[in-house]
């Protein structure tokens, strides 16, 4: 994601329709996917890496998904013009930090593009890490190696294999949707739908040849 709030830059799609009576002309209709994707709540992450000068780079990203379990592969979608993407592809690796529900400020910080964002948050680079670990803000971290990248429109999909995963079971995820944050604890505490009343068992029909069955 670019340096803006999560879900604010989901790429749009272009449809081309022919105009009646006008050869070789087309009507360009742009669909803004942001309201649609805002209606699809998700977790929030920060993608981090190092550039050629070993300076940390990072941005807030909510466009991610798992691709395969074997090999363990995921995909993140990042604005093609992003300096973080450039560094990530040059290095061939990155860390994916899933933010916990008390890390809203970190999400906003890394979405703001502030040049001092790494000076304003706690991070470490453990031995073997693929990028900075946001130790105070993340409840799960995946160190990833880039496998393939595909540019499409104004974004680039980066497919990567997770080489190491660190999880803090006691922490809960930060959620984002409809232009608002929410905590997993609050969402999980909401009353659950009552269990559906058990359906009555279907009547037992007499078996073939039993009394009451006519041929």
pLDDT in tens, 30-83: 788 777 877 777 899 999 999 999 999 999 998 899 999 999 999 999 999 999
pLDDT on residue 179: 81
CA distances in angstroms from 92 to 62, 127, 160, listed in the order given? 20, 17, 9
pTM for this prediction: 0.74
Q: Are 59 and 132 in contact (CB under 8 A)?
A: no
Q: With 70 as the cut, is the pLDDT of residue 178 above it? A: yes
| Residue 12 CB burial class (10 angstroms; 0-12, 13-18, ≥19) | middle
Q: With 70 as the cut, is the pLDDT of residue 213 above it? A: no
How far apart are the two ends of the chain, measured CA to CA in Å?
71
Among the listed residues 68, 75, 61, 66, the one whose alpha carbon sits nearest the alpha carbon of residue 149: 75
What value does the CA radius of gyration of the chain take, rounded to a whole number of Å? 24
């Amino acid at each position: 994601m670019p340096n803006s709030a999560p879900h604010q830059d989901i790429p749009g799609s272009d449809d081309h329709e022919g105009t009646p009576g006008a050869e070789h002309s087309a009507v360009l209709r742009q669909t803004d996917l942001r309201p649609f994707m805002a209606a699809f709540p998700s977790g929030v992450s920060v993608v981090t890496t190092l550039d050629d000068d070993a300076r940390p780079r990072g941005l807030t990203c909510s466009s991610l998904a798992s691709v395969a379990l074997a090999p363990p592969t995921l995909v993140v979608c990042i604005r093609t013009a992003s300096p973080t993407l450039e560094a990530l592809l040059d290095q061939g690796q990155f860390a994916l930090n899933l933010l916990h529900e008390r890390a809203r400020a970190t999400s906003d910080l890394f979405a703001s593009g502030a040049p001092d964002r790494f000076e304003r948050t706690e991070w470490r680079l453990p031995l073997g890490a693929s990028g900075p670990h946001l130790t105070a803000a993340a409840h799960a971290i995946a160190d990833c190696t880039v496998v393939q990248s595909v540019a499409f429109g104004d974004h680039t999909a980066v497919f990567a294999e997770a080489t190491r995963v660190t999880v803090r079971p006691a922490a809960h995820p930060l959620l984002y949707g409809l232009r608002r944050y929410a905590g997993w604890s609050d969402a999980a505490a909401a009353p659950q739908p009552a269990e559906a009343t058990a359906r009555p068992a279907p009547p037992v029909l007499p078996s073939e040849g039993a009394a009451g069955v006519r041929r």
